[in-house]
Chain A
C-alpha cells in the first residue's frame, strides 16, 4: 500500500527522507536483529565445543553428505525465488511456477532435517543428553523454525499472487519475503560450516 501511494504522490522538493520503501527498511532492521540472535546461538555452539575440543568429534555423529544434499536444496531455493521475482516483475505466469518450486525445495530441506532428527533421536542422541545435543538441537532447531516461518510467508505470497489478479502482491512485499528467505539461507551456510564442516579443519 505504502509504495503504491508513493508512486503517485510527487516527492516534495525539500524531502530529505531515505528514498527506500519503508517495509524493506523495516525488514532490514528485523534481519539485523535476527542476525544477532543467531550469532549468539552460533557463538554458544563454538564456545562449548572449542572449550572441550569436541567440535570435530561432534561433527562425526552427523551425516555430512546427506545433510549437504538437503542443503543444496535450500540454497538453490534462493536461486529459484530470485527467478520468481524476475518473472513477477515481468508479469510472467512463470512467477507462480518458480514460487512453487521454491516452496517445494524449502519443504525438502525441512523434511531432510526431520529425517536427521529422527535418526539422532533413535540413537538416543536427544537435546537433553549432553552438551552436543543441547547446542546442536537448539541451533539447528531455531534455524528450522525460521525456515518454516519462511515457508508460511512464501505460501501467503504465492496465495496472493495466484488469487488476487487485481490486487497483486506489491514488489516491496515480495522483496520483503525474499529478503527473509535469503537471510534464512545465509544463516544455514554459517550453521552448516560451523556444525558439519568442523571435522575437516582439524
Chain B
C-alpha cells in the first residue's frame, strides 16, 4: 500500500502557471482551495510588507537628523501607528495564516482544510479589513494613537477624526476572520490526518500551527471586546475608558495585553515551525527532542495567557501583581530556551547544507536569541522601569518580529517556494538578499538598544541637538534602514524572477521526509492521488527505504 503512493497516473505539471485548475483570475478570486488561498495570503502579506516598510522608512527619515521636519507631528503619529498596525495585523497574521493553510493539509495528508469556504471567508475578511483601514487616509486622516491605542489618547476628546474609528472597526472585522481561520486550522489538524498520522507523528510545524490555532481562538476575542468598547466610547459616547466619568483607561491595557501577549506568540510560533522543518533537512539529521519541542510549545501556549501584566509594570498596580507576573515572564523563557537548544543540538554534528533557506534559519537563531534575552530582561522589574517606553523596547520587538518571525518565514519561503510554484528560487539573488537583510536589519535595530539605554523615548517626532550619541546612532540606523528596505525589495524581485526563470524543482528538491514533499510540485488540486499511509515521523523515508526504517514510533 505504501509503495502504491509512489505510482503516478499522470505527468506532473511542474509549474504553477500551467496548472489547469488555476487558470484565469476568476479561479483565484472565487477559490476555496487551500493552496490558492495560502498563496493569496502570502502575496497580500508581502504587498502590505512593502507598504509597511516604506512607512517605517519614513519614520527613519524623520529621525535621521535632529530637529528634522520631513513630516509633520500629526503625520508622524499616523505613520508610526499605521506602520505598527500594518506589520502586526496585515503582514504578520496573514503571512502565518498563508503558511498555515497552505502547508497544514499537505503535511497531514488531507485533501483540503476542514471548512474550505470558511477559509476563503477568513482571507477576504482580512482584505476587506485592511482596505478599510487604509481608506481612513481618504476619510480625514489615519489613526494616530499607536498600534496599542491606549486611552485616553485614543478617545474622541484627543483624536476626533474618524481614523481611530476605522482602526477599531478594521481590527474587529479582521479579528473575526482570524478566529474563523484559527478554528479551521484546529479542526483540520484534529480530524483530517492521514491514516497512521498520529499526533506524535505530525511534523513540528503542524504542532506549532495547532497551538497557534488555540492562541488565536482564545485571545482574539479579548481584543474584540476591547475594540467594541473603544468604538462605543467614540461613537455612542459610552464611558468605558473615560476616567472623568468613572471609566478606566487601565482596563483597556489589561484587555489589550491579555490579547497582545498571546498575539506575539501567535506571530512567532509558525516561524518556529518553519525553522523546525528547515534546520533538520539542511542538517541531514532528525530534529533533536521533537517530543520536548511539542511539549514546550504547549507550555508556552498556556503560559502566554498569564504574562500580560509585564507590559504594564509602570502603571502602579502594586507589588503583588508585579512579582507574580515577573515570575511567569521569567518562566516562559524556559520552554523558549529549550527550543533554541533543540535547534542547536539538531545542527550539532549534522551535515550542514548552507542554502539561503538555512542561512536565514541560522540568522534567526542568533537574532531571536538576542531578542529573547532583551525580552526576558523586561521581566526584571527595575530594568523594566528604566527601559520601558524607550528605544530599547523598539529594538527588542524588532529583533523578535523581524529578526525572529520575518527571517524564519522568509527561510520558509525559500524552503517551500519550489513546492508551491514548481521552481526553485535563485540562490545567487538569495545570497545577496540574505547578507543585505542581515546587515540592514542589525544595523537598523541593534543601535536602538544603545539609544534606549541612552534614554531616547519611543514615538518621539524628533529630538534636540547635542544629546549624547543620539544624532550619530540615529543617522547610522536610518542609513541601514535603506539597506533593509532594499533587501526586502530584492527578495520580492527574487520571488517574481524565480517564478519565470527558476530551475524546475521536482517533487522533493531538498531530499526532505515530510508528507508535503510526496505531492507534486506544485501539488495537484487534490494534493495526493491516493491517501498516503503514515508509519513514522519520516513517511518519505519509509517509502524509499521500506516501512519502519527508523526503528522508532513503529506501532503498525
Residues of A within 8 A of B (CB): 12-18, 20, 22, 25-26, 29-30, 32-34, 36-37, 40-41, 44, 47-48, 51-52, 127-128, 130-131, 133-135, 137-138, 142
> Which partner residue on chain A sits nearest B239 by CB separation?
A134
B236 on the interface (CB 8 Å rule)? Answer: yes
| Complex contact A127–B238 (CB within 8 A) | yes
| Complex contact B190–A17 (CB within 8 A) | yes
| Complex contact A29–B186 (CB within 8 A) | yes
| Complex contact A40–B222 (CB within 8 A) | yes
| Complex contact A12–B221 (CB within 8 A) | no
| Complex contact B220–A26 (CB within 8 A) | no
Chain B residue numbers with a CB within 8 Å of A29 are 182-183, 186-187, 213, 217
Apart from A32-B217, A32-B218, A128-B236, list 5 A-B contacts with CB within 8 A: A12-B533, A14-B534, A15-B195, A20-B191, A130-B246
Residues of B within 8 A of A (CB): 114-115, 118, 179, 182-184, 186-187, 190-193, 195-199, 213, 217-222, 224-226, 228-229, 232, 236-240, 245-248, 251, 255, 258, 531, 533-534, 556
The 6 closest A-B pairs by CB, nearest first: A128-B237, A134-B238, A37-B221, A12-B195, A40-B225, A14-B195
| Complex contact A22–B237 (CB within 8 A) | no
Q: Can you show 29 pairs from A to B with CB atoms below 8 A apart?
A: A12-B195, A14-B533, A16-B197, A18-B191, A25-B187, A26-B184, A32-B218, A34-B221, A36-B222, A37-B221, A40-B221, A40-B226, A40-B255, A41-B228, A44-B225, A44-B229, A47-B251, A48-B246, A48-B247, A51-B246, A51-B248, A127-B232, A128-B236, A128-B237, A130-B239, A130-B246, A131-B239, A133-B238, A142-B228
| Complex contact B225–A33 (CB within 8 A) | no
Min Cβ gap A198→B in Å is 17
| Complex contact B251–A44 (CB within 8 A) | yes
Complex formed: what's the CA distance from A14 to B194 in Å?
9
Q: Is the interface of B mostly helix, strand, loop or mixed?
A: helix
Beyond A29-B186, A128-B238, whether A22 also contacts B114 by CB under 8 A is: yes
Complex formed: what's the CA distance from A66 to B455 in Å?
61
| Complex contact B248–A48 (CB within 8 A) | yes
> Which partner residue on chain A sits nearest B199 by CB separation?
A16
> Which partner residue on chain B sits nearest A20 by CB separation?
B191
| Complex contact A33–B217 (CB within 8 A) | yes
Of A13, A18, A40, A138, the residue contacting B232 (CB under 8 A) is A138
Min Cβ gap B256→A in Å is 11
Chain B residue numbers with a CB within 8 Å of A44 are 225, 229, 240, 251, 255
Chain A residue numbers with a CB within 8 Å of B220 are 33
Of B213, B225, B533, the residue contacting A37 (CB under 8 A) is B225
Chain B residue numbers with a CB within 8 Å of A36 are 218-219, 221-222, 225
Q: Is the interface of A mostly helix, strand, loop or mixed?
A: helix
Complex formed: what's the CA distance from A48 to B219 in Å?
22
| Complex contact B191–A16 (CB within 8 A) | no
Chain B residue numbers with a CB within 8 Å of A13 are 195
Chain A residue numbers with a CB within 8 Å of B245 are 130-131
Min Cβ gap A120→B in Å is 15
Min Cβ gap B126→A in Å is 17
| Complex contact A37–B224 (CB within 8 A) | yes
Chain A residue numbers with a CB within 8 Å of B118 are 26
> Which partner residue on chain A sits nearest B190 by CB separation?
A18
Min Cβ gap A5→B in Å is 12
Chain A residue numbers with a CB within 8 Å of B240 are 44, 134-135, 138
Complex formed: what's the CA distance from A77 to B344 in Å?
59
Chain A residue numbers with a CB within 8 Å of B226 are 40
| Complex contact A17–B193 (CB within 8 A) | yes
Of A12, A47, A130, the residue contacting B248 (CB under 8 A) is A47
Of A20, A127, A135, the residue contacting B236 (CB under 8 A) is A127
Chain B residue numbers with a CB within 8 Å of A142 are 228
Min Cβ gap A13→B in Å is 8
Chain A residue numbers with a CB within 8 Å of B248 are 47-48, 51
Most B CB atoms within 10 A — which of A26, A127, A131?
A: A26
Chain A residue numbers with a CB within 8 Å of B199 are 16
Most B CB atoms within 10 A — which of A20, A33, A51?
A: A33
Complex formed: what's the CA distance from A30 to B221 in Å?
10
> Which partner residue on chain B sits nearest A2 by CB separation?
B114
Beyond A17-B190, A17-B192, A26-B114, whether A33 also contacts B228 by CB under 8 A is: no
Min Cβ gap A46→B in Å is 11
Chain B residue numbers with a CB within 8 Å of A18 are 190-191
| Complex contact A16–B221 (CB within 8 A) | no
Chain A residue numbers with a CB within 8 Å of B229 are 44, 138
Min Cβ gap A191→B in Å is 14
Complex formed: what's the CA distance from A37 to B218 in Å?
9
Min Cβ gap B245→A in Å is 7
Complex formed: what's the CA distance from A36 to B240 in Å?
18
> Which partner residue on chain A sits nearest B200 by CB separation?
A16
| Complex contact A127–B187 (CB within 8 A) | no
Min Cβ gap B316→A in Å is 15
> Which partner residue on chain B sits nearest A34 by CB separation?
B221
Complex formed: what's the CA distance from A12 to B193 in Å?
11
Complex formed: what's the CA distance from A37 to B225 in Å?
6
Of B221, B222, B232, B246, the residue contacting A131 (CB under 8 A) is B246
Complex formed: what's the CA distance from A16 to B118 in Å?
25
| Complex contact A25–B190 (CB within 8 A) | yes
Beyond A131-B246, A133-B238, whether A33 also contacts B195 by CB under 8 A is: no
| Complex contact A22–B191 (CB within 8 A) | yes
Min Cβ gap B157→A in Å is 14
Complex formed: what's the CA distance from A24 to B321 in Å?
39
Min Cβ gap B531→A in Å is 8
Min Cβ gap B528→A in Å is 14
Min Cβ gap A156→B in Å is 16
| Complex contact A138–B228 (CB within 8 A) | yes
Chain A residue numbers with a CB within 8 Å of B179 are 30, 33
| Complex contact B115–A26 (CB within 8 A) | yes
Complex formed: what's the CA distance from A47 to B182 in Å?
30
Min Cβ gap B257→A in Å is 12
Chain A residue numbers with a CB within 8 Å of B114 are 22, 26
